[in-house]
């Protein structure tokens, strides 16, 4: 749906008058999975699809929330913008309003808001972060708040914690807010220091494969992994003064891992520590133009996510196994929170069409599900469109 169609839909729903439009992208993470809430490094890029927010301030003391993707609509009083509405999608934008209220910002005017997303929901490409960030960017500008973009990113993460119940790291919201076309974001999730690294993938495409087995972060498995990582830190603290798993190097972990008596907790920690190391090395390889070495680290990442972190599942593993057999595949791995969702692959240009055909057919034969493929185009972070 293009911008003029979105404007028409807004006017059809809310009537004639001025309207502003904002956009924030989804993201795909090239490497560095489940490291963000452990203070480690991640390497995502913003995508060309995401979530749109059309907004008009009104004289009413309420905010209207509607979506072209969801049937549920809500009218929420300005006094209730800090309270969830059941388990509905509107909690994502309401949660962002709540963060502004926490900062002492008071709204004296309501608004009509219409959302539309072209991120496949449940694919693990951060549709939730995109709606949070686009809401924050829209509120910040329309109400003249003037907060810096990084602050909007942090508030979007808080909204996810408090209104969706997912104790996510900062990666998704940061990529959606701070990404740039033709670049990936090399982010230290502890300090929020970041570098926009040019994606030098000469002759290579990024191909996203949606398993169409939706991931469900609210299932509790994601939060369970967070707790297991905290347990690993507690077990290691008497032997090394750390506050998070990013504070320990691979060789140090190998020397101390036997102090983690729970085998499952040890494996969770081993994934995080080695994944942080893989991410550092992968970015160095990309800067050197060594895409083949980058791809090998993607394979190792998937193995670790499958065997140590146990967040892949049969569909993601079936997609991975189909992909690694194909000529022209430089690297492939699951991406996102896991438990369904997407893989991301680096595929030579001349092999992309056959990759999509053959991998899609094998995956369907194994799982009975029909996948979707996207040749990824990078995009900019959250912004005003009109």
User: Torsions phi, psi of 6, nearest 5?
Assistant: -65, -40
Residue of 36, 112, 172, 277 marked catalytic: 172
> SS3 for 294?
helix
What are the φ and ψ backbone dihedral angles of 373, each rounded to 5 degrees? -120, 145
Q: Is 172 known to be catalytic?
A: yes
DSSP structure string for 156-225: HHHHIIIII-----SHHHHHHHH--TTEEEEEETTT--EEEEE---TTEEEEEEE-S----GGGTHHHHH
Residue 373, classed as helix, strand or coil, is strand
Question: How long, in residues, is the chain?
Answer: 386
Residue 23, C-beta contacts closer than 8 angstroms, at least 6 positions apart: 50, 51, 52, 53, 134, 382, 383, 385
Question: Going by C-beta distance under 8 Å and a sequence separation of 6 or more, which residues neighbour residue 160?
Answer: 92, 95, 128, 129, 132, 166, 168, 172, 173
DSSP β-bridge partners for residue 77: 62
DSSP H or E stretch at residue 125: none
Calculate the dihedral angle through the C-alpha atoms of 133, 139, 144, 146, rounding to the nearest 10 degrees. Answer: -20
C-alpha distances in Å from residue 116, one per residue of 19, 25, 241, 270, 277: 15, 12, 46, 39, 37
Alpha-carbon span 121 to 131, nearest angstrom: 11
Distance CA 149, CA 155 (A): 10
| 346 close to 332: Cβ distance less than 8 angstroms | yes
Active-site positions read 172
């Amino acid at each position: 749906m293009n911008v003029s169609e979105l404007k028409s839909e807004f006017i059809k729903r809310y009537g004639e008058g001025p309207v502003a439009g904002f956009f924030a992208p989804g993201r795909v993470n090239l490497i560095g999975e489940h490291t963000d809430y452990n203070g480690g490094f991640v390497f995502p890029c913003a995508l060309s699809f995401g979530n749109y927010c059309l907004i008009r301030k009104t004289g009413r003391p309420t905010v209207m929330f509607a979506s072209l993707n969801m049937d549920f609509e809500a009218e929420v009083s300005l006094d209730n913008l800090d309270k969830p509405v059941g388990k509905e999608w509107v909690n994502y934008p309401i949660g962002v309003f709540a963060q502004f209220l926490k900062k002492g910002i008071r709204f004296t005017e309501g608004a009509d808001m219409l959302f539309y997303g072209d991120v496949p929901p449940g694919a693990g490409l951060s549709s939730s972060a995109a709606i949070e960030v686009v809401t924050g960017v829209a509120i910040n500008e329309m109400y003249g708040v003037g907060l810096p973009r990084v602050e909007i990113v942090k508030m979007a993460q808080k909204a996810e914690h408090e209104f969706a119940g997912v104790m996510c790291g900062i990666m998704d919201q940061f990529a959606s807010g701070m990404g740039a076309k033709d670049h990936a974001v090399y982010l230290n999730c502890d300090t929020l220091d970041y570098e926009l690294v040019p994606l030098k993938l000469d002759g290579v495409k990024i191909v996203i494969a949606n398993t169409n087995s939706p991931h469900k972060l609210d299932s509790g498995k994601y939060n369970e992994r967070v707790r297991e990582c905290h347990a690993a830190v507690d077990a290691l603290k008497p032997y090394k003064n750390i506050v998070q798993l990013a504070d320990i190097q691979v060789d140090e972990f190998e020397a101390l891992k036997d102090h983690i008596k729970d085998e499952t907790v040890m494996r969770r920690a081993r994934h995080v520590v080695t994944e942080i190391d893989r991410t550092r090395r992968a970015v160095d390889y990309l800067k050197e133009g060594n895409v083949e070495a980058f791809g090998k680290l993607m394979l190792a990442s998937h193995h670790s996510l499958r065997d140590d972190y146990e967040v892949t599942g049969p569909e993601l593993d079936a997609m991975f196994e189909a992909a690694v057999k194909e000529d022209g595949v430089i690297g492939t791995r699951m991406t996102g929170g896991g438990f369904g969702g997407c893989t991301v692959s680096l595929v030579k240009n001349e092999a992309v069409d056959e990759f999509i055909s053959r991998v899609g057919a094998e995956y369907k034969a194994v799982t009975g599900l029909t996948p979707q493929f996207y040749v990824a185009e990078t995009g900019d972070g959250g912004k005003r469109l009109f």
